[in-house]
Amino acid sequence: MRRADPTVVPEADRRQTPGPDDAREYGSAEMIRGAVEEMLSTLHGDLSVGHVRISGQLRDLAGYIEATRQELARLRPSEIAGRHIADATDELDAVVQETEDATNAIMQAAEEIEAAATHAAAAPGLSAAVTKIYEACSFQDLTGQRIRRVVRALKEIESKVDSMIAALDGGKSSPDGRRDQHGKPEDSRLLNGPQPPGDAISQDDVDSMLADAD
Amino acid sequence: MPIDKNIGILVVDDYKTMIRIIRNLLKQLEFSNVDEATDGGTALRKLREGNFSLCISDWNMEPMTGLQLLKEVRADAKLKSLPFIMVTAESKTENVVAAKQAGVSNYIVKPFNAATLKAKLISVFGDF
């Protein structure tokens, strides 16, 4: 009588596994788990200890993926995209609008002073002061550009979160299609915006570069 | 011969406050014939249809950037010699190089002051 190989697990002793039809009901993580189980269910005949070890590791992997998916779902990513980022971009848009309104009010006052100063004895001094006000008001343009870059970054994050949600749901929900993807201008790599202090080249540097190229 | 301060100047920027600032500074220099555009497409149309002697443009605009506007101007038979001053927050070396290669007449980095604007106008038109 042939002695049974102690390293082989007879087919009859292997655990029952869900069929492939069950796995197809689920999203991406479940699909991976289902594929693992399906693969295991196709194994026929006696298994070696090595096969059992591999099957155990694959089950652990599927379980890890499922646990990660549940952990990510607990973070409620739909709130990040649908509420938090939307609120943040709305607030930033409001900042830009309010600074524009305030700047226009300042400019209006400065223009009125300049008009009134035409006939005043102190006209030169007033005119110089008004000029400084005009120059200072350019802050609204620069802050607006910086804020616009932040909004753009937030919308990019929102898009990626939407994609992540779609992947976790296995395609049941699709990324938010509201985002209007403008085609990037061909010189988009040159759109760096205002630089941090110390990184921007000075007007003197610009003038030198233009002069050198002549 | 001193420049005619009644020349047409087109100021292009997607921020209306910046257009207003530049317009006021030009007015202080006695240039009052100033028109405006808030995007490159409108600016290009105005330049082609109008009679401008100078274009002052921002860079960072959409969908047409100031650099693209400059290239369109230099490619246009009527506009190719139009003085074009870029006024922009784009302050990297590569930006200045790209603008120079595209044929910019001068380049002002934001924030700027009235004296700088005057100096660049003098560089384009001569002393006034």
Kindly report, residue by residue over A81-107, the tens digit of the pLDDT.
Answer: 778 888 888 889 889 998 999 999 999
Q: Find the Cα–Cα–Cα–Cα dihedral A156, A161, A164, A168, rounded to 10°.
A: -160
Alpha carbon distance, N-terminus to C-terminus of chain B: 9
At which residue do the structure tokens 């941090």 appear? Answer: A196
Tell me if chain B has a CB within 8 Å of the CB of A118: no
Cα angle B104-B39-B74, degrees, rounded to a multiple of 5: 30
* Residue B91 to residue A185, Cβ atoms within 8 A: no
- pLDDT tens track for B26-66: 999 999 999 999 999 999 999 999 999 999 999 999 999 99
H or E element that contains B21: helix B16-28
* Residue A107 to residue B13, Cβ atoms within 8 A: no
Which of A107 and A200 is assigned the larger pLDDT? A107
The per-residue pLDDT for A123 is: 79
Residues of A within 8 A of B18 (CB-CB) are: 138, 140-141
Q: Tell me the whole-structure pTM to 2 decimals.
A: 0.72
Which of A191 and A81 is assigned the larger pLDDT? A191
> Nearest 5°: phi and psi at A12?
-65, -25
Instruction: For residue A23, give both structure tokens.
Output: 């796995």
Q: Does this complex have an ipTM over 0.85?
A: no
| Nearest by Cα to A82 from A29, A157, A170, A151 | A157
Listing DSSP states for A175-211 in one string gives --TTS--PPPPTTGGG---SPPTTTSPPHHHHHHHHH
| Reported confidence tier of residue A25, pLDDT bands at 50, 70, 90 | very low
